[in-house]
């Protein structure tokens, strides 16, 4: 079980300050659903993890947060990198606090914990990494003054997730050095309908 | 404050602490709670509050939230009931100057993170700013139901009837809803939330462009309002919510419609009304606005 050489690299050189800046972007993103935020302080994980997804993992994951890996992201190099840099245990989807992978591989959404009526915070956050077949949508709700436009995969599945509010999953969509968030509170309409 | 710091620091210099004082694992835990709070507006997220080198009454919940969101490039402001110059406000400002190396300001418009005790600044906040509230009692149902298990169940089932009964009893007794601080609100039609002990005058400002974060240290709760979140003060059709309005203009800057403090000026019962938001009032006077006593009072 030799660790891949790059499992040990790609972390932050000044974790307190770099994590702080990255978290601030992640917070602004979650506060303003559909808005795209570039990250300036980037971590680098093995392929196929994007720098933005790697950065989110470093900022949010630790031994308290089981992580589920889906699809091509579930490979030895990525598993070793997460273990070394965050200490997060790898877990099945149902037990995961965070899940990472491409959209199709992460499906179905019913595999993840949506929280409980007393504790809706005991829910999973999905980091959807890389490109997906998307459709234009109009978003409204908390964090959005009127409406905003975005492109999302599988509108029906995401609308069903939002319909379960206050239970449900929250999403980060990561690509390259950028991220966008979609909390469960956002109302989603197909752009064609609106 | 200085004594508190050195005692709990076990003689370490502040420079030996992590950026913004808290260790990285604690910040991660608080940051995860903040994201959940943002995703479920008005819901109280439990978090494991840490000992801070200051007493609970000094806003340790707010301080921990500020520490978790702060970046080195921030400009930090602290207000205590509207004023930047109370012992509490000065101590918290210094704490982050020393532990995070951030710039500090008393100007609302210059600040990127504002920690507040019991007020919302008069000047509207903008996108990119964060308002952090110190919260003593986060549970709006606590005075009706002492059990945490029960209040959690009430929130889960949206059982807010008791709260309306309490407000209606107010009307029966006083002819109006007498609650004037910590006036309960409903967030996005779902959770009833305590906006912290701000005057109800400030309630209409809760829908704003900035991010609002609430931290209760002793009670170990974090909650949040995303920008433009719908926040409605609880009321009744026949008794609609009314934000209290002062009968006066500010005696120093002449502002109409700001929140005023009554200040006793002499032993003979002299008094004046001045903006509780000291930065707002000073800014208006700098811009040439004068109130009834603005020209004669020494306000330095
Ligand atoms: Zn004034």
User: Using CA atoms, how far apart are residues B28 and B251, in angstroms rounded to an integer?
Assistant: 47
pLDDT value of residue B53? 86
Query: Residue B300: pLDDT band by 50, 70, 90 thresholds?
Result: very low
**Mean pLDDT over residues A110-134, rounded?**
97
Which pLDDT tens digit goes with each residue over A129-146?
999 999 999 999 999 999
- Note whether A22 and A8 are within 8 A (CB): no
DSSP A48-95: T--HHHHHHHHHH-STTS-EEE-GGG-SHHHHHHHHHHH-PPB--GGG
- The yes-or-no verdict on residue B225 having pLDDT over 90 is yes
Residue linked to tokens 């604690």: B26
Query: Residue A1: pLDDT band by 50, 70, 90 thresholds?
Result: very low
- The yes-or-no verdict on residue A164 having pLDDT over 90 is yes
Q: How close does chain B come to A171, measured CA to CA in Å?
A: 10
Between B16 and A142, the higher pLDDT residue = A142
- Cα angle A83, A84, A85; round to 5: 100
| Angle between helices B24-39 and B60-69 in degrees, nearest 10 | 90
Active-site residue B250, yes or no? yes
Q: Chain A residue with minimal CA distance to B22?
A: A16
pLDDT value of residue A88? 98
Query: Residue B7: pLDDT band by 50, 70, 90 thresholds?
Result: very low
**Mean pLDDT over residues B73-84, rounded?**
96
pLDDT value of residue B265? 87
Q: How close does chain A come to B24, measured CA to CA in Å?
A: 7
**Mean pLDDT over residues A67-92, rounded?**
98
Active-site residue B254, yes or no? no
Q: How close does chain B come to A143, measured CA to CA in Å?
A: 4
CB burial of residue A93 (10 Å; 0-12, 13-18, 19+): buried
Of B37, B62, B281, B283, catalytic: B281
Active-site residue B288, yes or no? no
User: Residue B240 has which token pair?
Assistant: 């609609």
Share above pLDDT 90 across residues of chain B, in percent, rounded to a whole number: 75
pLDDT value of residue B192? 98
Query: Residue B16: pLDDT band by 50, 70, 90 thresholds?
Result: low
**Mean pLDDT over residues B168-185, rounded?**
88
pLDDT value of residue A114? 98
Region of B218 on the Ramachandran plot (φ > 0 left; ψ -120 to 50 alpha; else beta): alpha
Nearest to B27 by CA among A178, A30, A170, A22: A22
Active-site residue B42, yes or no? yes
**Mean pLDDT over residues B213-238, rounded?**
96
- Note whether B21 and B67 are within 8 A (CB): yes
pLDDT value of residue B5? 40
Question: Residue A32: helix, strand or coil by DSSP?
Answer: coil
Please give the distance, rounded to the nearest whole angstrom, from the Cα atom of residue B129 to the centre of ligand 1.
23
Question: Residue B256: helix, strand or coil by DSSP?
Answer: strand
User: Using CA atoms, how far apart are residues A171 and A188, in angstroms rounded to an integer?
Assistant: 13
**Mean pLDDT over residues A173-186, rounded?**
98
Range of lowest pLDDT (A44-58, B65-79, B164-178): B164-178
- Each as own residue / partner, the long-range contacts of residues B2-11 (CB below 8 Å, 24 or more positions apart, any chain) are B4/B53, B4/B54, B4/B55, B5/B53, B5/B54, B5/B95, B7/B53, B8/B51, B8/B53, B9/B53
- In this prediction, the answer to ipTM > 0.85 reads yes
Nearest to B179 by CA among B187, B193, B168: B168
pLDDT value of residue B296? 58
Nearest to A183 by CA among A108, A135, A123: A123
CA distances from A139 to A145, B73, B143, B211 (A): 10, 31, 38, 18
User: Residue B227 has which token pair?
Assistant: 């920008």
Please give the distance, rounded to the nearest whole angstrom, from the Cα atom of residue B123 to the centre of ligand 1.
12
Interchain contact B96–A (C-beta under 8 A): no
- The yes-or-no verdict on residue B235 having pLDDT over 70 is yes
Between B124 and B246, the higher pLDDT residue = B124
**Mean pLDDT over residues B35-45, rounded?**
98
Are the Cβ atoms of B229 and A142 closer than 8 angstroms? yes
H/E stretch holding A37 reads strand A36-38
């Amino acid at each position: 079980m030799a660790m891949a050489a790059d499992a040990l690299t790609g972390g932050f050189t000044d974790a307190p300050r770099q994590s702080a800046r990255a978290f601030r972007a992640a917070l602004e993103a979650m506060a303003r659903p559909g808005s795209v935020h570039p990250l300036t302080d980037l971590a680098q994980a093995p392929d196929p993890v994007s720098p933005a997804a790697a950065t989110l993992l470093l900022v949010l994951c630790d031994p308290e947060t089981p992580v589920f890996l889906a699809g091509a992201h579930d490979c030895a190099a990525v598993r070793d990198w997460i273990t070394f840099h965050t200490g997060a245990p790898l877990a099945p989807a149902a037990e995961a606090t965070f899940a990472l992978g491409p959209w199709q591989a992460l499906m179905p959404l019913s595999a993840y914990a949506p929280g409980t009526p007393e504790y809706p915070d005991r829910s999973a956050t999905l980091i959807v990494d890389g490109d997906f077949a998307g459709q234009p949508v109009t978003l409204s709700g908390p964090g959005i003054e009127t409406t905003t436009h975005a492109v999302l995969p599988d509108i029906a599945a995401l609308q069903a997730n939002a319909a379960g509010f206050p239970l449900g999953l929250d999403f980060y969509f990561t690509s390259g050095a950028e991220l966008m968030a979609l909390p469960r509170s956002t109302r989603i309409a197909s752009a064609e309908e609106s | 404050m200085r004594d508190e710091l050195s005692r709990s620091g076990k003689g370490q210099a502040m420079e030996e602490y992590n950026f913004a004082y808290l260790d990285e694992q604690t910040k991660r835990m608080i940051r995860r709670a903040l994201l959940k709070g943002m995703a479920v507006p008005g819901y109280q997220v439990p978090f494991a509050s840490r000992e801070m080198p200051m007493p609970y009454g000094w806003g340790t919940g707010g301080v921990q939230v500020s520490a978790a969101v702060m970046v080195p490039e921030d400009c930090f402001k602290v207000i205590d009931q509207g004023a930047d110059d109370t012992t509490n406000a000065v101590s918290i400002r210094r704490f982050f100057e020393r532990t995070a190396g951030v710039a500090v300001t008393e100007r609302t418009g210059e600040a990127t993170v504002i920690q507040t005790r019991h007020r919302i600044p008069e000047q509207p906040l903008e996108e990119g700013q964060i308002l952090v509230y110190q919260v003593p009692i986060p549970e709006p149902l606590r005075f009706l139901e002492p059990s945490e298990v029960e209040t959690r169940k009430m929130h889960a089932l949206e059982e807010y009837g008791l709260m309306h009964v309490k407000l209606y009893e107010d009307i029966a007794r006083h002819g109006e809803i007498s609650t004037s601080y910590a006036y309960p609100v409903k967030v996005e039609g779902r959770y009833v939330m305590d906006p912290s002990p701000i005057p109800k005058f400030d309630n209409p400002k809760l829908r704003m462009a900035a991010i609002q974060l609430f931290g209760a240290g002793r009670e170990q709760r974090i909650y949040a309002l995303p920008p433009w979140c719908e926040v409605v003060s609880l009321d009744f059709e026949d008794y609609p919510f009314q934000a209290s309005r002062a009968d006066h203009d500010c005696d120093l800057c002449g502002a109409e419609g700001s929140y005023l403090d009554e200040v006793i000026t002499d032993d003979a019962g002299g008094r004046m009304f001045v903006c509780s938001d000291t930065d707002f009032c000073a800014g208006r006077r700098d811009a040439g606005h004068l109130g009834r006593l603005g020209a004669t009072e020494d306000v330095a």
